[in-house]
């Protein structure tokens, strides 16, 4: 064997034999008395197994079964609680299932599972057997909370959590979530106080439980938020999706005074069939947020409390039933749309534009406004500047500009689609709306 290969390989072998014996130990929770019969309270057995790995870390393996846990669990630093799934679990109660009952009616109680620095849960299904499909459902505490850097969740299904994952009450820098499925009924993923590059990918908040319940859907569409994002630095999000939420993605100022807001890069993300797909209350002034190759069926609301940039590239926007505008832009900072598509706005034919811009700076470049005979962009006198260039519209009067000389509009194309009959709003209604928007 070539010495250049042999000696490094030998060093690695010696490292595992002599220096770190005992690290990476795997134990079975059933060896501590746990039973997956759906009846036995397994709280003490799980916690004993987890605590046995406190010193050197390791994996507590949970075989297939239904494990009732009446209390709460704490995963020590460096320890993984792992079930049978290697991908996000399917829509079932198969495999390693934890039955959570703690905290019914007490949403502010401690979480079902507390993760600590370098701890992980993986391959588990968590189900609340006493939850009800009603409006409102029963409130419960957070299912998972992180406290410390490098907390991880991988390949888990949270079937019917009331509040799913809290990575914001305590600092959770460099958190890592990959393969999180579920139907959080009130709050999905909360991120705050992350001061070093959190990563979130392949999150799917969808009706995995009681999908036919109209009462649950109504509750979610009026009250629930899927992704709530406060202070986070260099947050990366990929392939995240939600359905039937009052707010899909909400960007807020941290509730902790002086902590601030976040900057986030989101790719291949979406929010479907909810009244508000995105709500921006505040993002960081220098970096803001950027959505790329994403899709939204619901309104985008940018509040005047925000001064940071909000950017959309190669994104699709379309309205739900009874939708008015697709974008309500009151952002005090810069808002930019590049190579995006807009469809199905002003569903009641009241004259609403796709983009209603009333504040800040707006750039719209290379976008398609596909509805026939409708206003594409309204520019209020309250905006600072606007650049509208290289877009296509299906209306002769697609841009209403009340900002006048503070705007630049060039190389836009205006035409009707053959065979399409435009629906025009009532002129009196439209005139009144324009007065309201231009205040």
Residue 403 has pLDDT above 80, yes or no: yes
| 358-374 pLDDT tens trace | 999 999 999 999 999 99
Q: What secondary structure letter does DSSP report for 194?
A: B
CA geometry: angle 260, 263, 264, nearest 5 deg:
140
Residue, of 117 and 395, whose pLDDT is higher = 117
The answer to whether residues 67 and 42 touch, using CB atoms and an 8 Å cutoff, is: yes
For 392, counting Cβ atoms within 10 Å of its Cβ (0-12 exposed, 13-18 middle, 19+ buried), the class is middle
Which positions ≥6 away from 419 have C-beta within 8 Å?
none
Cα separation, 308 vs 293, whole angstroms: 21
pLDDT at residue 12, as a whole number: 42
Q: How far apart are CA 329 and CA 320, in angstroms?
A: 18
pLDDT tens string 410-421: 999 998 655 555
Query: In the prediction, which pLDDT does 94 show?
Result: 93
Which of 303, 296, 377, 301 lies closest to 333 in space, CA to CA? 303
* pLDDT above 80: residue 8: no
Report residue 82 as tokens: 């792992």
Q: What is the pLDDT of residues 259-268, one digit of tens each?
A: 999 999 999 9
- Residues 161-190 have a mean pLDDT of 98
What span, in angstroms and rounded, lies between the C-alpha atoms of 62 and 83? 5
Q: How many alpha carbons fall within 13 Å on the CB side of residue 227? A: 32
User: Highest mean pLDDT range out of 21-35, 175-189, 405-419, 425-439?
Assistant: 175-189
Q: How confident is the model at residue 428 (pLDDT cuts 50, 70, 90)?
A: confident
pLDDT digits (tens, 9 = 90+) for 213-254: 999 999 999 999 999 999 999 999 999 999 999 999 999 999
What pLDDT is attached to residue 2?
54
DSSP, collapsed to helix, strand or coil, labels residue 68 as: strand
pLDDT confidence of residue 4: 53
330, 336, 341, 345 alpha-carbon torsion, rounded to 10°: 10
Q: What pLDDT was estimated at residue 437?
A: 85
How high is the pLDDT of residue 423? 63
Q: Residue 18 pLDDT > 50, yes or no?
A: no
CA distance 293 to 142: 31
Averaged over 290-294, what is the pLDDT?
98
Residue 100 pLDDT: 98
Structure confidence by residue, pLDDT tens digits, 311-340? 999 999 999 998 999 999 999 999 999 999
> Could you tell me the CATH superfamily of domain 28-223?
Single-stranded right-handed beta-helix, Pectin lyase-like (2.160.20.10)
Q: pLDDT averaged over the chain?
A: 93
Question: Could you tell me which residue, 39 or 438, shows the higher pLDDT?
Answer: 39
């Amino acid at each position: 064997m070539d010495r250049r290969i042999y000696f490094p390989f030998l060093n690695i072998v010696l490292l595992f034999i002599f220096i770190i014996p005992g690290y990476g130990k795997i134990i079975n929770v059933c060896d501590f008395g746990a039973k997956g019969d759906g009846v036995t309270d397994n709280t003490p057995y799980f916690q004993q197994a987890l605590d046995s790995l406190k010193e050197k870390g390791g994996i507590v393996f949970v075989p297939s079964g239904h494990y009732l846990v009446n209390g709460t669990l704490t995963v020590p630093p460096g320890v993984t609680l792992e079930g049978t799934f290697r991908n996000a679990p399917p829509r079932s109660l198969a495999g390693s299932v934890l039955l959570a009952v703690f905290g019914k009616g007490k949403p502010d109680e401690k979480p079902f599972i507390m993760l600590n620095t370098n701890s992980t849960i993986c391959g588990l299904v968590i189900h609340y057997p006493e939850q009800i499909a009603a409006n409102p459902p029963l409130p419960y505490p957070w299912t998972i909370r992180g406290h410390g850097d490098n907390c991880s969740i991988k390949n888990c299904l949270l079937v019917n959590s009331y509040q799913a994952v809290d990575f914001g009450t305590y600092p959770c820098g460099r958190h890592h979530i990959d393969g999180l499925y579920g139907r959080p009924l009130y709050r999905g993923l909360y991120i705050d106080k992350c001061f070093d590059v959190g990563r979130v990918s392949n999150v799917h908040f969808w009706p995995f439980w009681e999908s036919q319940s109209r009462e649950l859907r109504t509750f979610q569409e009026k009250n629930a938020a899927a992704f709530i994002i406060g202070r986070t630095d260099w947050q990366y999000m990929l392939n995240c999706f939600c359905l039937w939420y009052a707010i899909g993605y909400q960007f807020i100022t941290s509730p902790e005074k002086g902590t601030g807001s976040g900057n986030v890069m989101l790719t291949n993300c979406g929010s479907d069939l909810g009244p508000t797909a995105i709500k921006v209350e505040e993002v960081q002034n220098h970096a803001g947020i950027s959505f790329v190759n994403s899709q939204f069926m619901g309104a985008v609301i940018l509040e005047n409390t925000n001064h940071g940039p909000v950017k959309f590239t190669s994104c699709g926007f379309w309205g739900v039933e009874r939708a008015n505008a697709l974008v309500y832009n009151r952002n005090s900072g810069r808002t930019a749309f590049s190579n995006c598509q807009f469809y199905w706005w002003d569903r009641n034919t009241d004259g609403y534009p796709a983009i209603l811009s009333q504040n800040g700076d707006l750039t719209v470049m290379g976008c398609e406004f596909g509805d026939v005979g409708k206003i594409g962009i309204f520019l209020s006198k309250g905006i600072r500047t606007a650049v509208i260039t290289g877009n296509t519209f299906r209306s002769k009067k697609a841009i209403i500009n009340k900002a006048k000389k503070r705007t630049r509009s060039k190389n836009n194309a205006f035409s009707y689609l053959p065979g399409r009959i435009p629906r025009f709003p009532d002129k009196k209604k439209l005139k009144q709306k324009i007065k309201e928007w231009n205040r």
